Amino acid sequence: MKKTEMLYEGKAKKVYKTDDEKKYIVEYKDDATAFNGEKKGTIVGKGVVNNKMSAALFAILEEEGIPTHQVELLSDRESLVKAVKILPIEVIVRNVAAGSLAKRLGLEEGTPMKKTILEFCYKNDALGDPMINDYHIAAMNFATDEQLDTVKKYAIKINDILKKFFIERNIKLIDFKLEFGIYDGIVILADEISPDTCRLWDGNSNKKLDKDRFRRDLGGVEEVYQEVLNRISKK
């Protein structure tokens, strides 16, 4: 599969068209951003970790009946994926109060939620990815009611699968972001699942094993990314 033109370059990835119009190549970068791009830096090896971790987790989700965009891991930094039309919605799945939720609701970080929370944001960097709800999504025609119902169903199922997977590796899944798209008329999971898009805490110490170490200048960022990959790679 050959790259042709670059279709898109975002904060963490480059997406290329290929000689197959139904396939893209995603290249993962080491660039790191936080706070809607206000903080920028580099996490050495991040692209490799995120590519390999996403491919591994997508494979697990596929086995559990969740359709994903992943086709094949091509190299340390590149994956072949389906040419998905991304829905302009970020889905945040929350199991424990942390980050913006803790701040917004005045909760102590680490407070378990009695029920899994789903939040939606409009994917728009210029507007700061504002929070939206079902009514906004319908009014703006970001997704049909049927598509949104599928997104919600998949998000809850993905959460159940990943929580179990991570806790078996002594990692707590605090919250995470998902993106979905349309491929051949159906909703499928896209983007990535990595320490960039998940809050992951050590099961014993609650040590942060994710991008919060970059956001909050906690140090040891490269080390925890590699640690997470090492843990999930163990059978």
Task: Please report, in tens digits, the pLDDT of each residue of the chain (235 residues total).
Answer: 788 899 989 889 999 999 999 999 999 999 888 877 778 898 999 999 999 999 999 999 999 999 999 999 999 999 999 999 999 999 999 999 999 999 999 999 999 999 999 999 999 989 999 999 999 999 999 999 999 999 999 999 999 999 999 999 999 999 999 999 999 999 999 999 999 999 999 999 999 999 999 999 999 999 999 999 999 997 6
How far is Cα 137 from Cα 133, in angstroms, rounded to an integer?
6
Looking at residue 2, its pLDDT comes to: 84
Looking at residue 234, its pLDDT comes to: 77
Looking at residue 34, its pLDDT comes to: 84
Contact call for residues 23 and 7 (beta carbons, < 8 A): no
How far is Cα 46 from Cα 34, in angstroms, rounded to an integer?
14
Looking at residue 235, its pLDDT comes to: 63
Cα 171 from chain centroid (whole Å): 16
> Cα–Cα–Cα angle for 26, 178, 124, nearest 5°?
80
Identify the structural domains of the chain with CATH numbers, from first to last.
3-82 (3.30.200.20), 85-219 (3.30.470.20)
